[in-house]
């Protein structure tokens, strides 16, 4: 018996077509230095369009702030690439979170929480 893979549910948003994933809307938002940056927000809330544009316009500075907050220089050298993967607007500690992944440690995630344009907290999980 063959089963067809279910086509993901999509919704049109002010920023384009987003995929529904676990109660969130996920949008492949823009490419920065060769990386696609996804954005994610709760499905039952409006997309924060102005904040997305502000983050996009100032992304290099936010990326640098996040790396400083994570103390990336202290990471083990076998973790060759710690890269930003997505921005999440589902947080109660700030305005948004910049999440990082690492190909050498696929189950790991690092996140930096921003509030008012400043990195205010961070976390690590796997």
Residue-wise pLDDT tens digits, 45-90: 998 999 999 999 999 999 999 999 999 999 999 999 999 999 999 8
Residue 71 is assigned to a structural domain of this protein: yes
pLDDT given at position 59? 96
Structural domain total, the chain: 1
Q: What is the mean pLDDT of residues 18-33?
A: 93
Residue 4 is assigned to a structural domain of this protein: no
Give the C-alpha separation, 56 to 58, whole Å: 5
Q: Which domain holds residue 119?
A: 10-125
Residue 2 is assigned to a structural domain of this protein: no
Residue 102: CB atoms within 10 Å: 19
pLDDT given at position 91? 82
Report the percentage of the chain scoring pLDDT > 70. 95
What pTM was estimated for this model as a whole? Answer: 0.89
123 pLDDT above the threshold of 80: yes
């Amino acid at each position: 018996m063959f089963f067809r893979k279910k086509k993901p549910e999509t919704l049109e948003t002010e920023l384009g077509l987003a995929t529904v994933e676990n109660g969130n809307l996920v949008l492949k938002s823009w490419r920065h230095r060769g990386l696609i940056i996804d954005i994610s927000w709760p499905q039952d809330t409006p997309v924060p369009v102005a904040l997305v544009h502000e983050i996009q316009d100032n992304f290099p500075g936010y990326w640098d702030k996040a790396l400083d907050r994570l103390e990336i220089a202290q990471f083990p050298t076998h973790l060759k690439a710690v890269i930003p993967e997505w921005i999440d607007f589902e947080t109660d500690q700030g305005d948004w979170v910049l999440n990082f992944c690492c190909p050498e440690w696929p189950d790991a995630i690092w996140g930096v929480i921003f509030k008012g344009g400043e990195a205010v907290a961070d976390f690590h999980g796997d």
